[in-house]
Structure 1
Amino acid sequence: MPEEQTLNRYRELAARSAQSGIYVYTDFHSPAGASLAYRITDERNVKMWGGAETCERVIVRFGDPEDIGYEEGFPISVIRIFPKQAKYADALTHRDFLGALMNLGLERDVIGDIYVCDNEAYVFVCERIAGYITDELTQVKHTPVRCEITDAVPEEARPKLKEESVTVSSPRLDGIIARAYHMSRSEAKSLFNSEEVFINGRLCANPFHEPAEGDVISVRGHGKMIYDGVARRTSKDRFAVIIRKYT
């Protein structure tokens, strides 16, 4: 969806929430699309969630809990998709599962992240279409499958975090990204110009920004990491910082 069209849609949803006094939700968006919500309303009126802390694709919720007077969960379901007979199944990939879902006639924005583990998939979807998927999805690639709605994603299916220590001249975001993803400082700076860097779901255009401990940094096309702060100063007066990269 073009940026201006997304912004107009967000304005409509934010206004509907304010007028009706209820929470209003989008479908799933990429980090870039979701971050546009901060342009049209105050931060306290926006919350984002994809079903798990590790999810990239998120639903945007409009509504201030203090004004509305209560909290509620996001309309997200998790579907487990698994072969009927594991020993006869094809080797199934993220692309295979996504393709099978799209072949049901679904739009991409009703599907969130897909975690694949041991030839099974755990798919985050908009709650309203979960029943349709469990009823209609019977095959992935050439493999007959079953679907069930589940409450939890097993730990082994979730993205893993790998801790690393990187040394930078200053704890600026461009330097951290350059070291984390093995690129030059100028290459890292170009990512800000092309709007590909996000902190805690919000677009960051400032390469000189110094992240706070616990910030989640997403770089489109490269990955996501958690910044754990400066561990020490080196003998050459550089900064050893700790990051945890999703793998």
Structure 2
Amino acid sequence: MNQAAWVRERERPFVRNAEDWCNQVHQQQNWYLTDFLTPREQYLTTSVAVKNGLVNESFGGYTGCERQRMLLMPDNWYPTAEDFAVDCLQLTAIAGEIAHKDVLGSVLGLGLHRKMVGDIVVDDATAYLFVTHTMGQYIYDHLHQVGRATVSVARPSQIPALPLPNYQPVDISVPSLRLDAVVARACQLSRGKSQETVERGAVTLNFTEASNGDEVQIGDILSVRGFGRIKILEALGTSRRDKLRLRIGVLRSNM
């Protein structure tokens, strides 16, 4: 497999880590459990695992979650949910509402790395927080404040059906896979306006800083300030005018 064809330069350290995980599985003939991975990291890890002849499964705490932990296995060992060591904590504001960014900021303020934290689902004054099992008790003991709200922390005996991100599938045609071209078409902007939006730092690619010259790939998530998210779902080939056809998911923000 030509790594340059599917891996960005900034992603190569992560892919080397994934290669190390696979080597560890082969050497020890035991499975390897990752931290929480973004959708793009899951895609890269799956690609590396398949190349190395391994089986992989993923789970993040509930059906349809975005950030998930992955198990790399020498064969299909049919893991259960417990094998992924994901804890769910229910945060309830004693007064007022809580926001996603406040939950994340408060948890990271306890000294956790982002990779230890999975999805955060907020519904008014309640949030469901998914974390690695090793950090669940620590957060349970030490998290008392989220933003300006005092919160109670509980371990729910049963996780309710949580709302999923409602990405709307949209098919678009673009002259290239350049990020600015995709943003322009998805957000219905001119190419120049799209480039200005990226240049002022209003667009991220897989939760990191983006540039106009970046090329999108399957599994990428673009966040556009004031618009929402764009997920690259599928390549559909080329149009009669030789434009690239993509299926994307659009999740509009509430702004």
Indicate whether 1:154 and 2:161 are aligned: yes
TM-score, normalised to structure 1, is: 0.64
| Count of residue pairs brought into register by the alignment | 217
* Contact preservation (8 Å) 1:228, 1:244: no
Indicate whether 1:21 and 2:29 are aligned: yes
Aligned to 2:102: 96
Q: Give, in angstroms, the shift of residue 101 of structure 1.
A: 0.8
Aligned mates of 1:206, 1:5 — CA distance in 2: 18
Aligned to 2:14: 6
Aligned mates of 2:16, 2:249 — CA distance in 1: 36
Aligned mates of 1:80, 1:48 — CA distance in 2: 22
Aligned to 1:219: 222
**SS of 1:42's equivalent?**
helix
Question: How is 1:84-233 mapped onto 2 (pairs within 5 angstroms)?
Answer: 85=94, 89-150=95-156, 151-156=158-163, 158-162=164-168, 179-183=185-189, 196=205, 218-219=221-222, 221=224, 223-225=229-231
Indicate whether 1:245 and 2:255 are aligned: no
Instruction: Rate the CA distance shift 1:21–1:223 in 2: closer, same or farther, 3 A.
Output: same
Q: Which runs of 5+ in 1 are unaligned?
A: 198-204, 210-214, 231-240
Aligned to 1:63: 73
**SS of 2:78's equivalent?**
coil
* Contact preservation (8 Å) 2:172, 2:248: no
Q: Give, in angstroms, the shift of residue 118 of structure 1.
A: 0.9
Residue by residue over 1:116-153, the C-alpha shift from the partner in whole angstroms, topping out at 9 and shown as x without a partner, is 11122111211221122112212222322111223424
Q: Give, in angstroms, the shift of residue 24 of structure 1.
A: 0.8
Residue by residue over 1:21-70, the C-alpha shift from the partner in whole angstroms, topping out at 9 and shown as x without a partner, is 3221111233344444256442562344433454332323211434xx43
Instruction: Rate the CA distance shift 1:128–1:9 in 2: closer, same or farther, 3 A.
Output: same
Residue by residue over 1:219-246, the C-alpha shift from the partner in whole angstroms, topping out at 9 and shown as x without a partner, is 355524586999xxxxxxxxxx987634
Aligned mates of 1:81, 1:31 — CA distance in 2: 25
**SS of 1:9's equivalent?**
helix
Aligned mates of 1:6, 1:206 — CA distance in 2: 18
Q: Give, in angstroms, the shift of residue 103 of structure 1.
A: 2.0
Q: Give, in angstroms, the shift of residue 75 of structure 1.
A: 2.1
Aligned-residue Cα RMSD (Å) equals: 4.4
- Of all paired residues, the percent bearing the same amino acid is 23
Aligned to 1:202: none
**SS of 1:109's equivalent?**
helix
Q: Give, in angstroms, the shift of residue 110 of structure 1.
A: 0.3
**SS of 1:65's equivalent?**
coil
Q: Give, in angstroms, the shift of residue 82 of structure 1.
A: 0.7
**SS of 1:14's equivalent?**
helix
